[in-house]
């Protein structure tokens, strides 16, 4: 098994005729993802190289192709409407790649998604992959391998580095998810940790965090009370100065909270080892698996 996506996932691409949408649609199809439709208002009937049918609206695309997952590449000012349109049309999982989305737009869209009973990943995220089953995002599929490690990350590029190290050390992944680096996003650590806990394929979990906010501290408490599988962590930003944003909009330490030191201490307090370098993660996982 895997979580959220698998070989039966039917993907719709919102913004499929744009540069990024078209490029990554071809990559997802090449990986084996079942991309069944795309939308681009006013361009219904357009023939695109991938051969995926283009519709004007999500509702018609869903009705005709039974798409259940969407990935969004539309420009930031239109993301709120795109997310809400997908949720309103019966899409159950919405993955938003677009960056620079206004925080208030995300708050409104996420509330609507929840009312519709759907789930949101992102915005400003690389998406997710269940190796050898489905890729819904912009992740480089060649570095992933099928296995038993679940990965949750706030950082796209760190995900790639850590997954590469896992694969090189014989530790394949069940599902890897980039949740996004904005202050407000959809599914987060606690939601995904519980999914991995309940997934029979997943034996261990890697949590990749970074400075800013208190999501990692909350995740540590959740792990203590709810997760029985081995968990390993890595926290980026240990040398970052206070009150200075580092890359992601959510990566800012303020009012004495959100530092790498505090996050590391929170994890170690509940028995989750924290790697000093990404290359140490496979070593820590193997050590925990031997103990369990």
Catalytic residue set: 248
Question: How far apart are the C-alpha atoms of 261 and 19, rounded to whole Å?
Answer: 40
Q: How many angstroms separate the most distant Cα atoms in the chain?
A: 58
Q: In the numeric block, which tokens belong to residue 108?
A: 């409104």
Residues 2, 221: Cα–Cα separation, whole Å: 24
Query: What is the spatial distance between Cα 67 and Cα 89, in angstroms, rounded to a whole number?
Result: 10
Cα–Cα distance for residue pair 240/246, rounded to 1 Å: 7
């Amino acid at each position: 098994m895997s979580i959220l996506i698998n070989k039966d996932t039917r993907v719709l691409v919102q913004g499929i005729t744009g540069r990024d949408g078209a490029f990554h649609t071809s990559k997802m199809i090449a990986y084996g993802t079942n991309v069944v439709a795309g939308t681009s208002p006013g361009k219904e009937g357009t023939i695109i190289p991938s051969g995926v049918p283009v519709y004007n609206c999500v509702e018609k695309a869903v009705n005709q192709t039974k798409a259940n997952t969407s990935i969004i590449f539309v420009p930031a000012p239109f993301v709120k409407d795109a997310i809400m349109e997908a949720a309103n049309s019966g899409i159950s999982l919405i993955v938003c790649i677009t960056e620079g989305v206004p925080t208030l737009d995300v708050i409104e869209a996420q509330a609507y998604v929840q009312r519709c009973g759907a789930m949101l990943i992102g915005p400003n995220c690389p998406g997710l992959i269940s190796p050898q089953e489905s890729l819904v995002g912009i992740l480089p599929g060649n570095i992933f391998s099928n296995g038993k490690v679940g990965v949750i990350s706030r950082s796209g590029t760190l995900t790639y580095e850590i997954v590469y190290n896992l694969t090189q050390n014989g530790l394949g992944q069940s599902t890897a998810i980039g949740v996004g680096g904005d202050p407000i996003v959809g599914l987060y650590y606690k939601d995904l940790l519980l999914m991995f806990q309940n997934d029979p394929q997943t034996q261990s979990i890697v949590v990749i965090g970074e400075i800013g906010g208190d999501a990692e501290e909350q995740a540590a408490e959740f792990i203590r009370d709810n997760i029985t599988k081995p968990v390993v962590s890595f926290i980026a930003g240990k040398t970052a100065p206070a009150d200075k944003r580092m890359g992601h909009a959510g990566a800012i330490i303020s009012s004495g909270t959100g530092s790498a030191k505090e996050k590391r201490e929170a994890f170690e307090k509940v028995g989750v080892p924290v790697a000093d370098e990404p290359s140490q993660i496979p070593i820590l996982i193997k050590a925990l698996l031997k103990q369990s």
